[in-house]
Amino acid sequence: MDMCTPEVVSNGQQIFLGRQSILDRSQNLRAFELLFRSSGRNRADVGSASVATATVINHVLNEVGIESVLGSYRGFINLDMEMLMSDAIELLPRDKVVLEILETVEPTPEIVERCRYLRDNGFTLAMDDFIRDEQALWPLLEVTHIVKLDLQLTDRTRLAETADKLRRFNVQLLAEKVDSMGQFKVCLNLGFDLFQGYYFAKPEIIRGKRLSRSEMLLTRLLGLLMADANTAEIEKVFKQDPGLSVNMLRLVNSVATGTNGKVTSLASALVVLGRRQVQRWLQLLLFAQLSPCKEFPSPLLQLAATRGKFMELMVAGNKTMEDNAFMTGIMSLMDTLLGMPLAEVIRELPIADEVCEALLNRGGSLGRLLTLAEALEHTDVVTITTAIAAIPGCTLAQADSGQRQALMWANSIARPGA
């Protein structure tokens, strides 16, 4: 598995939730993979794969909730032979999970029959790390929906040959550990259907991309709100984009419970929503427009939203710190979205000095929080522990709780139609 793959980590009473995105050919989000790490060594204990899977299932179903973890998407869950044969997996909702059969599972007649039973009963099955082209695997391929090929274990020539041979079966091909645009294009040309890997967390965007007029307008509005400009000045900028103004009024009227009648002016909308919530809305709109993925939400947008909310929750109680923490999390991926140095992006916004220091140097209290947020995404327990120790008063339980809440919040704003 990817060393950068977000996972579900258990450490005593704390569980760290993370997910690696699985995308389609248009780079639209389709699913997440959920994994487990058993210790501070940041690797699963091979001898307890069944325990690891059982722990993931328990966390997802009972402790956190499948909607909170996956939102409207599916979750891939790894199964070894013991767990595959267990009746426990039949508790999982068939429309929300993909059962990923580990490469260590031998395709015995009993295993093939078990997989056929699960498929006939509505489960979706995937084969992990397919690298052997053996006739013995054919019966298993005939009852599998998705086959994952690890790009680090297969050279380009063999990848093409394997993909061609797999076309005789009615399966989708998933390229795993896609680390570059070049690898992504190769797999696209070979007819792969699904993709996951580090490339999609750090997408390669055309260098030197500049803000469009609508993006500049959003940036300008953010600057005015952060500078506490007067309402008339903010309203004037809003009116430069009729579509944005209409969306603002739709938003306020959808949430303005308890008000008398409809809100019909931008000035009233700013009062009803509050400047802080308008600022949050504009930040997410900006990311949605900059995202290379045309379908909302992009994996990068969800990651940025989760970072911002996590950092805000970790400094709850201090409004200025909350705003700066949220901004730091959101801004931390702007260089990736724009394909230009972060220092150059920052020059276009009136950002507080401590936010700049956190973004550029990981300095100050916000820099330490950002380091922790990044560590949680990769579920490197050693790095998480070190990052927590560098933040006075921070505990493992607080970080765990903050990440859970941030993931739930990011899912709630990302649901289609929300």
Mean pLDDT by 10-residue block, N- to C-terminus, for the chain (418 residues)? 36 54 86 59 42 57 63 85 86 90 90 96 93 79 94 88 90 92 93 88 45 69 78 82 74 61 75 81 70 55 83 88 85 74 74 89 96 81 87 89 83 54
Domains of the chain by start residue, with CATH: 8-200 (3.20.20.450), 213-414 (1.10.3210.10)
- In one-letter notation, the amino acid at residue 140 is L
Give the CA count within 13 Å in the CB-facing half-sphere of 246: 3
CA distance 200 to 355: 25
Encoding tokens for residue 169? 């079966």
HEC-encoded secondary structure of the chain: CCCCCCCEEEECCEEECCCEEEEECCCCEEEEEECEECCCCCCCCHHHHHHHHHHHHHHHHHHHCHHHHHCCCEEEEEECHHHHCCHHHHHCCCCCEEEEECCCCCCCHHHHHHHHHHHHCCCEEEECCCCCCCHHHHHHHCCCCEEEEECCCCCHHHHHHHHHHHCCCCCEEEEECCCCHHHHHHHHHCCCCEEECHHHCCCCCCCCCCCCHHHHHHHHHHHHHHCCCCHHHHHHHHCCCHHHHHHHHHHHHHHCCCCCCCCCCHHHHHHHHCHHHHHHHHHHHHHHHHCCCCCCCCHHHHHHHHHHHHHHHHCCCCHHHHHHHHHHHHHCCHHHHHCCCHHHHHCCCCCCHHHHHHHHHCCHHHHHHHHHHHHHHHCCHHHHHHHHHCCCCCCHHHHHHHHHHHHHHHHHHHCCCC
State phi, psi for 172 to the nearest 5 degrees.
-90, 145
CA distances from 49 to 40, 54, 69, 88 (A): 16, 9, 21, 14
pLDDT of residue 265: 73
Smallest CA-to-CA distance from 325 within 290, 289, 347, 352 is with 352
The rounded radius of gyration (Å) of the Cα atoms in the chain is: 23
Using CA atoms, how far residue 403 sits from 19, 165, 224, 307, 396, in Å, is 12, 42, 30, 9, 11
Cβ neighbour number for residue 262 with a 10 Å cutoff:
10
Among 75, 57, 66, 46, smallest CA distance to 10 is for: 57
d(CA 92, CA 74): 12
